[in-house]
């Protein structure tokens, strides 16, 4: 096992101007499960491939443990990679596939067989060791691919969207198994996915990338509760955070008829940057449905357009009403509601943001604004 360090690591593909990965600074501790997540083209797979030695590092450095591996060949880095496609040899048995890398390095047969049996036991593959890949399900094949990585006993596991070829139900089951297995082995793991739910449920920490730049790295809970900027706020969370730009009037953020009192620290930051606009966000669970008689400044009416009933949860999707503000007409509001008595499609309801549940961002930079005791 070993820690991994990206130190200003940069990759610029030939013929392009903007780096695919731009001065990435990231420390991954010994035994940690770190997930790289972001939209397509954000640089997450490139970052992983730079660590694996499959992409050149054009600037900065990468180290595994105390060793600089920036310019080492992949075979000299003591890593094992699990890809999106299983890359199994169809003519070989499961046991031979899992032990192939050990055969290449001429490990003794007894040692090879021992490691394969141990990995098979960890992955519940013992009964399949004599079968060919075509006789296995997709989930079983992916476990064989993981077993092939495990038997090498590397310092670092690298996983590039390994579950993306599985169906939705099997993905949920397998991601739980992968996370539990990693904790059992204690091997430093860097895992790439575009699925933020997968990232949040698997990683000790999650690193969010956009356009080759690291936006934020923290625990899943901290990312969810304290996003550093508008991108992270909108990307992390399912359903997404509600975000809209508000006008600042005195001490309040104003959107249509709704007025939200802003913390003193936020007002000072807005004054410093000379802005009279603020981006305010709130999670779907950060609002309450209130009675139509409650017309206080912090409430707003919506008409329900869709209701998602998920059994233990329900979410309404609605549109603002009773407003002439063009910015609101196409704005969708998402709110978690009582799953036992959800509103009906077409129904008019009134919502209120719970005090302290709003998140405030600069309309100029997109970065989170100080909010004092409100930001909890």
Tens of each residue's pLDDT in the chain, 376 residues: 699 999 999 999 999 999 999 999 999 999 999 999 999 999 999 999 999 999 999 999 999 999 999 999 999 999 999 988 878 999 999 999 999 989 888 889 999 999 999 999 988 899 999 999 999 988 889 889 989 999 999 999 999 998 888 888 888 888 888 898 899 899 999 999 999 899 999 999 999 999 999 999 999 999 999 999 999 999 999 999 999 999 999 999 998 878 999 999 999 999 999 999 999 999 999 999 998 777 777 888 999 999 999 999 999 999 988 767 776 777 899 999 999 999 999 999 999 999 889 999 999 999 999 987 655 5
Contact between 142 and 52 under an 8 Å Cβ cutoff? The reply is no
- β-sheet bridge partners, residue 335: 316
Provide CB contacts within 8 A for 300, sequence distance 6+: 255, 256, 257, 258, 320, 350, 351, 352
CB-count burial class (<10 Å; 0-12, 13-18, 19+) for 241: buried
Contact between 334 and 349 under an 8 Å Cβ cutoff? The reply is no
Of 235, 253, 228, the closest CA to residue 370 belongs to 228
Domain(s) labelled CATH 2.40.50.140 in the chain stretch across 242-374
Alpha-carbon gap, residue 55 to 71, rounded angstroms: 10
Angle subtended at Cα 181 by Cα 31 and Cα 117, rounded to the nearest 5 degrees: 115
- The backbone torsions φ and ψ at residue 279, rounded to the nearest 5 degrees and listed phi first, read -95, 125
Contact between 203 and 33 under an 8 Å Cβ cutoff? The reply is yes
Contact between 258 and 247 under an 8 Å Cβ cutoff? The reply is no
By DSSP bridging, strand 21-28 and strand 33-37 are unpaired
Alpha-carbon gap, residue 323 to 302, rounded angstroms: 10
**First and final C-alpha spacing in the chain:** 36
- The backbone torsions φ and ψ at residue 79, rounded to the nearest 5 degrees and listed phi first, read -125, 160
Helix H or strand E encompassing 245: strand 242-249
Which CATH superfamily is 242-374 part of?
Nucleic acid-binding proteins (2.40.50.140)
Write down the pLDDT at residue 302: 92
Of 11, 150, 2, the closest CA to residue 70 belongs to 11
Contact between 7 and 25 under an 8 Å Cβ cutoff? The reply is yes
Structure tokens at 236: 């992390």
Write down the pLDDT at residue 327: 67
Write down the pLDDT at residue 139: 86
Q: What is the DSSP letter of 187?
A: -
Domain(s) labelled CATH 3.40.50.300 in the chain stretch across 4-233
Cis peptide before 239 (omega within 30 of 0): yes
Write down the pLDDT at residue 256: 80
Contact between 233 and 325 under an 8 Å Cβ cutoff? The reply is no
By DSSP bridging, strand 299-309 and strand 348-353 are antiparallel
Contact between 110 and 54 under an 8 Å Cβ cutoff? The reply is no
Of 293, 282, 296, the closest CA to residue 354 belongs to 282
- β-sheet bridge partners, residue 5: 27, 63
- What are the CA-CA distances from residue 295 to residues 290, 311, 316, 366 (Å)? 9, 31, 20, 31
Write down the pLDDT at residue 373: 60
Q: Which stretches of the chain are DSSP H helices?
A: 44-52, 94-104, 109-122, 138-150, 168-185, 196-202, 220-225, 230-235, 264-273, 326-329
Alpha-carbon gap, residue 155 to 115, rounded angstroms: 16
Q: What's the topology of domain 4-233?
A: Rossmann fold (3.40.50)
Helix H or strand E encompassing 210: strand 205-210
Write down the pLDDT at residue 236: 95
Residue listed under structure tokens 């990312």: 223
């Amino acid at each position: 096992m070993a820690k991994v360090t990206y130190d200003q690591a940069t990759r610029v593909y030939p013929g392009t101007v903007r780096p695919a990965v731009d001065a990435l600074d990231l420390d991954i501790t010994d035994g940690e499960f770190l997930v790289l997540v972001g939209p397509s083209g954000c640089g997450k797979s490139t970052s992983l491939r730079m660590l694996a030695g499959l992409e050149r590092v054009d600037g900065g450095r990468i180290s595994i443990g105390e060793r600089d591996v920036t310019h080492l060949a992949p075979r000299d880095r003591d890593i094992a990679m699990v890809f999106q496609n299983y890359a199994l040899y169809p003519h070989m048995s499961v046991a031979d596939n899992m032990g192939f890398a050990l055969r290449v390095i001429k490990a003794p047969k007894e040692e090879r067989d021992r490691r394969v049996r141990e990995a098979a036991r960890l992955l519940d593959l013992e009964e399949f060791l004599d079968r060919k890949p075509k006789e296995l399900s997709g989930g079983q094949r992916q476990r064989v691919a993981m077993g092939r990585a495990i038997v090498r006993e590397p310092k670092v596991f690298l996983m590039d969207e390994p579950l993306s070829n599985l169906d939705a139900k099997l993905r949920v089951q397998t991601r739980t198994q992968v996370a539990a297995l990693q904790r059992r082995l204690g091997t430093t793991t860097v895992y790439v996915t575009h699925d933020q739910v997968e990232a949040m449920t698997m990683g000790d920490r999650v690193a969010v990338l956009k356009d080759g730049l690291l936006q934020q790295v923290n625990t899943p809970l901290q990312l969810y509760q304290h996003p550093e900027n508008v991108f992270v706020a909108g990307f992390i969370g399912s359903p997404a955070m509600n975000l809209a730009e508000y006008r600042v009037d005195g001490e309040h953020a104003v959107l249509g008829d709704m007025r939200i009192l802003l913390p003193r620290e936020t007002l000072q930051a807005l004054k410093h940057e000379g802005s009279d606009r603020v981006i305010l966000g709130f999670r779907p669970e950060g609002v309450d449905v209130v009675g139509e008689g409650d017309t206080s400044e912090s409430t707003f009416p919506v008409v329900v357009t869709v209701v998602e009933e998920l059994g233990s949860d329900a979410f309404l999707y609605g549109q603002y009403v009773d407003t002439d503000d063009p910015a609101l007409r196409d704005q969708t509001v998402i709110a978690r509601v009582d799953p036992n008595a959800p509103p009906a499609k077409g129904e008019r309801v009134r919502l209120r943001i719970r005090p302290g549940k709003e998140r405030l961002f600069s309309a100029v930079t997109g970065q989170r604004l100080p909010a004092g005791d409100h930001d909890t």
